[in-house]
Structure 1
Amino acid sequence: MIIHDFTHKRSILNHFVGELRDVNIQKDRMRFRRNLERIGEVLGYELSKTLDYYPVNINSPLGIKPSEYISKQPVLCTILRAGLPLHQGMMNFFDQAETTFVSAFRNHSKNSKEFEVVVEYLATPSLDNKTLIISDPMLATGESLANVYEVLLKYGSPKKVHIVAAIGSKPGIDYIKEKLPESTELWIASVDEILNEKQYIVPGLGDAGDLAFGKKLH
């Protein structure tokens, strides 16, 4: 796996990640969503440098300018519901992309720290020979992401896979290294060292879905 880790690269991206983590700024739900969206935009821009382009001559009102257009839009996949703001940031740049939506959640047994990842809903185009970008704001254990990828393979074999995440853990990254193709590229704004006993990233930021959309009953 090729890892593009922006943790220690000085840019406005670090500012957006810092605001995501800040317990006081998190109280502004709209700002939390917007920061995730902006992280999606920044990482989407960085990722776009690796895609294929073809030459075009642009007719402006005053002349012709050689330029480049993207050869083929990727398929953008996100994991509901927490992934929606990050996904929107990607869509702002890849505005003609096809989209895949997946509902996946941790199903904890009673009085158990262990869980299984359940995929309940999926809507996708064919993925055969396409560039697939999976966005998920929190790469914790990596199990949800790996399970989603396995389910997606039923709908075609992507030519290339990219993962986009706001914050991840080293254990989670190590896990998906083993489960996804070697050529997969991970684009991540910040990496934390550990997971706690509930398998949440530390220091992380908490539950991204709840912070973006409000607490759920279950």
Structure 2
Amino acid sequence: MLNTPEGVTLINHPLIKHKLTIMRKKDTPSFLFRMLLKEISLLMGYEVTRSLPVQQVEVETPITTMQSPKLKGRKMCIFSILRAGEGLAQGLLDLIPSAKVGHVGLYRDPNDLHAVEYYFKSPAHLEERFCLVVDPMLATGNSAITALDRIKRAGARDITFLCLLAAPEGIAALRKAHPDVEIYTAAIDEKLNEKSYIVPGLGDAGDRIFGTL
């Protein structure tokens, strides 16, 4: 896919490409898959937080005092869409250990593929936080849309969605439902198959993270 859709940032980095290639291989074991996902999340986290607001504060170095930038406002919130989102969230927490964490538990109805919520927990004051919603795969977009609906109802206003892989169908659906939410991804694949899996993709991310194939 040559042209990146509006509202989508494709993080085009050689290390991410290399690690993602290894993750795509069907014989990559779960422990290596998890390690690579965590490493990629660190690299992607650097890009997605590039525009976080800062303010000048006074600090005292061993030599003198100075004005230096510090993150402004309440601590950001990382929302993990369970269960696969945990693979991205843990790496991001290593990068931003002070971040608050929220969880949205969803499962896909086998009959109509719609996302069904079974759990939700979030920190307070979402309206004052930058919320980063994470899930490795953006396939149909149903889970992401349902999660974003719920997070917005809880008060969040400044939201970005981060995924490892995206299908064009999922991007189109998410942008239509939530045009105010920027999407960051490491790759935009070809399409969805008849079972709504991303092609060429890497299989079921949750199963590969947790070894439940």
Q: Same fold per TM (> 0.5)? A: yes
2:10 maps to 1:5: yes
2:105 maps to 1:103: yes
2:147 maps to 1:144: no
* Matching residue within 17, 20, 25 for 2:23: 20
Shift of 1:129: 3.4
Post-superposition Cα deviations, 1:112-163, rounded to whole Å, max 9, x if no partner, equal: xx3221110111123223211100001111110001111222311x231100
Post-superposition Cα deviations, 1:18-63, rounded to whole Å, max 9, x if no partner, equal: 1111223x22x12111111122111111111111001134323234
CA contact (8 A) 1:170 1:193 kept: yes
Q: Distance in 1 between matches of 2:212 and 2:60?
A: 51
Shift of 1:205: 0.1
Residue aligning to 2:158: 160
Q: Distance in 2 between matches of 1:10 and 1:75?
A: 25
State how 1:192-203 maps to structure 2 within 5 Å.
192-203=189-200
* Unaligned residue ranges in structure 2 (runs of 5+): 1-5
Q: Distance in 1 between matches of 2:13 and 2:38?
A: 19
Residue aligning to 1:120: 118
- Distance change >3 Å, CA 153–CA 184, structure 1 → 2: closer
Q: Distance in 2 between matches of 1:70 and 1:53?
A: 4
CA contact (8 A) 1:4 1:186 kept: yes
Q: Distance in 2 between matches of 1:93 and 1:67?
A: 20
Runs of 4+ that moved beyond 4 A: none
CA contact (8 A) 1:170 1:194 kept: yes
Post-superposition Cα deviations, 1:65-109, rounded to whole Å, max 9, x if no partner, equal: 543111132111011111112011111122111111111011113
- Distance change >3 Å, CA 70–CA 209, structure 1 → 2: same
Q: Distance in 1 between matches of 2:186 and 2:158?
A: 21
- Distance change >3 Å, CA 15–CA 64, structure 1 → 2: farther
Q: Distance in 2 between matches of 1:173 and 1:45?
A: 22
State how 1:1-218 maps to structure 2 within 5 Å.
2-6=7-11, 9-24=12-27, 26-27=28-29, 29-72=30-73, 73-109=75-111, 114-126=112-124, 127-156=126-155, 158-180=156-178, 182-215=179-212
Q: One-letter code of the match for 2:59?
A: I
Q: One-letter code of the match for 1:191?
A: I
Instruction: State the superposition RMSD in angstroms.
Output: 1.6
Normalising by structure 1, report the TM-score: 0.88
| Deviates further, 200-209 or 144-153 | 144-153
Shift of 1:183: 2.9
Q: Give the total of aligned pairs.
A: 206
Shift of 1:201: 0.1
Q: Distance in 2 between matches of 1:19 and 1:83?
A: 19
- Distance change >3 Å, CA 133–CA 188, structure 1 → 2: same
Q: One-letter code of the match for 1:22?
A: K
Q: Distance in 2 between matches of 1:51 and 1:208?
A: 29
CA contact (8 A) 1:36 1:86 kept: yes
Q: Distance in 1 between matches of 2:139 and 2:129?
A: 26
CA contact (8 A) 1:125 1:155 kept: no
